[in-house]
A and B are shown apart, each in its own frame.
Chain A
Amino acid sequence: MLERQWGRIVIAAVGLVVVAASVGVFVVDAETAEPEPVVFEETVSTGLALEDELALGADVQLPRAQVFYSQYDYVVGYHGIETFVESFQDDGHTARFGHPQAVYVTDYATVDPQLASDGHPTADRSPEWTDAEDAWFVVESDARTPRGETVLPFSDRDAAASFANRRGGTILDWPTLLERAFDRDDATAVADQLDDRHADADARVESIGALRDRPVSTVVGEDAATIQDALEAAPENTTVLVPAGTYNETLEIDRSLTLRGEGDVTIQGDGDGSVVTSTADRSAVIGVTVAGSGTEQPASGDLPGDDEEAGDWDEVFERNHAHSDAGIALHTAADSLVEDVTVDSDVTGILLRRSEGSVVRDATVDSPRDRTDGHAGILAFRSPIVIENATVTDGQDAIYAHRSPELVVRDSDLEGSHLGIHLMHTSDAILANNRLRNQSHTGIYVMTGPERIAIVDNDVRGAAYGIEAAGSDAYVADNRLTESQIGLRIGSTDSRLEGNVLAGNEVGAEVRTVVPTNQVLANDFIENAVHATAGSGPLRIWSQNGQGNYWQGATSLSGDATVDRSYSPTAPVDQRLHRTDGTVTLSRGPALDAIAGLEGSVPGMRSGSIVDLAPTCEPNNQDALEGTPWDDRAWSCEYPLQTVDP
């Protein structure tokens, strides 16, 4: 009897505990305790190009924010509080990351902030972090980051007021700051400015083209025995005319002259150093074939030109990369023209160093077949220039650029090198309408996180990797990326990738960045073994405001030319829809439907996957597909249900 009594008590106690625990899980706050700030270098950071970061002085302390999101595993670091605010205001930001659980910002109240001459805030030590909700923000002061006007946070209102008294600006609290508009150029602005940028380049080409029409003062063979003699005799701003023939000479131009060949002119170097070297602004090399340069890279001796070392962070780079023997070498020769030339290159074809504003056009470079012997077909080092109608074959890099912001490369034909176009620290570049073939590594390789690059209308075929996009606010559009191992590698953030055709690749597109802030829409994925893959990181949603991509294989049962469900190229069934018979049937199973139903929710917590919530039924780029083998393969989404003639 007593045992039974005890039994009842135990059961009652267990029951009580179960009920209490069941109710308890709803009563306790599921949100974890406020996270502590982490070391900024460990965050997934955005908002500062590597070029700008490397150029910062040691005592510069730029404002930063670190954000802990409810649905995103990584702590996200923002260079510039305004970078976060802009991102926060984006459509879909909350859907991708969840809401910010904690935001910490640089606290300038813990240091005595000064502004350097360029407006960069400096301090004698690193500022602490403070909770953004309790901070005061000085806007419209003299403070600047490499991106422009910036916001300085202070945990103490008096400290903020004291700074604003000294350096201008007004003080806002956090909720007001979150509402504030900052107009920074994003990927959409890059797209909008493309036509103007091309027009600027056209104007540059036309104005530099005047160098072509300088009066002839000296004719080689008539007025002077050698070309070099003619270059030394000719008055400035005139043309040295070279009649047809082969000239065994090594040339140096140190005054503003135009060297123009008439007929079939070959300048044959002696295998030592560069063949034609100019160190004068507004010099021009037109209508010649150049061969026989040295093969040293880097070459020995001092760099040609009239610049002095100023202690820049990339000077070692400059000595190593921009001091190559070349067919035609322009050092500190701004606003110059290289036109209608052919270079049989032994290491570097055409080299421009610190020659901003120059134009290279109608140039052909044949680089060494063995890429280890070559350096670059056309090399632009700290030279924002226009390259157009260039033809480069073989070598290491067909076109290599370093710190040449606003570089334009267009209408060029690049074949067979290791890298087609290789950008280092070159923000605001435009790479347009180029044809790239059979690069053994990557067609267009963007490195070092630049800003606002435009890669449009290029045709890349047969490379290991078609385009590697990197940096922030890039605009990658209307490219045809075909028959490569991977068509497009996406390492960029806050970028817009649209209207590209990715066809016949082993992998159409691969996501490499862990921050899901790219807009990927209106692209066509056709006949890739796998349309897209994603590395580590959250679920990426590849549709924007109801506009998705065309995925060969995405099917519809609705009969109204829209795809009636989401498509995930990383899901085991969806990714086989275009190549494995029977998957269409399997994909319609209620079990899969049940799981797919809520696929797009809590994206930040899922990993290594991609979903398009609004796939298109027909290809988005019909014009680009016309006449290609991919056109027939780009079925309408209703294909499986149509009656097909036998």
Chain B
Amino acid sequence: MAADESAAVDAGEQTTASTARRRRLETIFRRELRTVARTRTFLLLAAALAAVTLGVTWVGGGFTAGYLPAVVDLLTPMELLVPIVAIAFGYRAILGDEQRGELDVLETYPVSARELVVGVYAGRAVGLAATVVVALGLVGIAIAVTGDDTLRMYASHSGADSPILFARFLVLTVVFALVVLAVAIALSALVSETKSALAVAVVALVVLLIGLDLALVYGLAAGLIGDGELIHSLAVSPLSAYRGLVLETTVGVASGTGPRIASPLASLLGFAVWTGGSLAVAVWGVSR
């Protein structure tokens, strides 16, 4: 427990309840930030993710080809890697507090379960977002500075390619990461020991990465999902929602007409439900 926090809590000033709540949230948020910053494993994760994004872009020739080809090359690897990184960031967040006995300490303060969960989530979210932004930002910068390999004898133009498309991809990837982080936080609030946390995290990853998409395929094949509903049902799987949003807002811009790729609203709603629901489960888990 940091000294300033105790000072804040013990100040004994006449503050309104909301100010006090905000201050408690802020305290937890800061503590989480410090945890993220001090944990070398997270740094390693960030470095590994950056190496993979740069490597995938290089293999696909994306540095000279442009932003959009890089997005296309990175999409599937990001679908697989971002959930892993996000789970790693969150699967022990609340469990750790519990194991160190901090939950018991916190119980002696007027910190509600909701404040704890939101504070932890926000703190870890900043760390995770930074990890994703750095990894993809490096790719974006690399594309910007390497230029293209077009022949100078011919007039050329950039076509539909644009850094804005890459920025969209970056933002969507961050949002996707935050959704999975919420799931991870929920898991960490439900389990009671590290071993089971790891096992549950792996199960969650399998469900997220493979299970939900397969369930969609099954639903479509078995007729549970009608042809007109698929585009909305995609939102059930965060991976499909993410993929659909990326394709719709980047690749779809360049390719023009065709069947609709995704329903952005449904996908965003899916994201919101997964995040809100997971955090609610986490609150329930903590207060249990």
Contact = CB atoms under 8 A, between A and B. Distances in A.
B92 to A, nearest CB: 26
Nearest to B4: A4
A111 to B, nearest CB: 23
B14 to A, nearest CB: 14
A516 to B, nearest CB: 14
Contacts of A31: 160, 162, 253
B64 interface: yes
Contact of B160 (A26, A30, A42): A30
A602 B66 CA distance: 11
Interface in B147-196: 148-151, 153-162, 164-165, 167-168, 171, 174
B254 A71 contact: yes
Interface string A601-617: 11011111100000000
A482 B69 CA distance: 35
A189 interface: no
A636 to B, nearest CB: 29
B144 to A, nearest CB: 15
A126 interface: no
Nearest to B81: A594
Contacts of B77: 591, 594-595
Contacts of A514: 151, 154
Interface in B18-52: none
| Contact residues on A (Cβ < 8 Å of other chain), bracket | 35 or more
Interface in B258-282: none
A26 B168 CA distance: 6
B73 A607 contact: no
B167 A70 contact: no
Contact of B66 (A38, A597, A605): A605
Interface residues of B, number: 42
B12 interface: no
Given A595-B77, A598-B72, A598-B76, A71 B160 contact: yes
A604 B68 CA distance: 11
Nearest to A31: B160
Contacts of B61: 606-609
B76 A597 contact: yes
Contact of A602 (B64, B68, B151): B68
Interface string A61-89: 00000001111111100000000000000
B208 to A, nearest CB: 16
B76 to A, nearest CB: 4
Contacts of A609: 61
Given A536-B151, A609-B61, A30 B66 contact: no
Nearest to A604: B159
Contacts of A43: 154-155
Indicate the member of B159, B251, B254 with the most A CB atoms within 10 Å. Answer: B159
B76 A98 contact: no
B160 A73 contact: no
Nearest to B23: A4
Contacts of A70: 159-160, 254-256
Contacts of B253: 30-31
Contact of A601 (B149, B157, B251): B251
Interface of B: 56, 59-61, 64-66, 68-69, 72-73, 75-77, 80, 148-151, 153-162, 164-165, 167-168, 171, 174, 249, 251, 253-257
Given A73-B157, A74-B151, A94-B256, 10 more contacts: A26-B171, A30-B165, A31-B160, A74-B156, A98-B160, A98-B256, A536-B150, A595-B59, A601-B251, A609-B61
